[in-house]
Amino acid sequence: MADRMTSFADFWPYYLREHSKPETRALHYVGTSLAVAFLVTALVLGRWWMLLLFPVAGYLFAWIGHFGIEKNRPATFTYPGWSLAADFKMWWLWLTGRLGPELRRAGVEPQ
C-alpha cells in the first residue's frame, strides 16, 4: 500500500484482503457484535458507562486477530473512518450471508 487510498471503493477490497483468514474475520464478528450489544444496552437501559466498552470490545478482538493471526497492521491505524465503516459493512454482509462474493471479488477465498 504505497499510495494513500482516496475512496472507500478502493479501500474495501484492500480491507477484505487484510482479513483473509476466517479466524481474523470471526474475531471481528465477535468484537463488533459485542460492541453493538453494549451500545444498544447503554441506549435502551441508560447504562451510559457501557459506552466505554463499545470501542474496547470492537478493537480488542480485531487487534488480536491482526497481530496474532493475520500478522498485519490494523487498517484502522491509517484509515480509521473507512476501517470502522468497512468493519460494520463486513459484519452486516456476514450476518446476511452475502460476504462470500465480496471476498471472492477481492481475491480472498471465503473458506
Residue spans of the domains in the chain: they are: 22-104
Residue 1 DSSP code: -
**51 grid coordinates:** 459506552
pLDDT tens series, the chain, 111 aa:
457 899 999 999 999 999 999 999 999 999 999 999 999 999 999 999 999 999 999 899 999 999 999 999 999 999 999 999 999 999 999 999 999 999 999 999 887
- According to DSSP, residue 3 is labeled S
Q: Give pLDDT, residue 1.
A: 45
The owner of cell 497492521 is 73
Q: Are 43 and 14 in contact (CB under 8 A)?
A: no
* In contact, 106 and 13? CB cutoff 8 Å: yes
Model pLDDT, residue 108: 96
Interhelix angle 22-45/80-95, rounded to 10 degrees, is 90
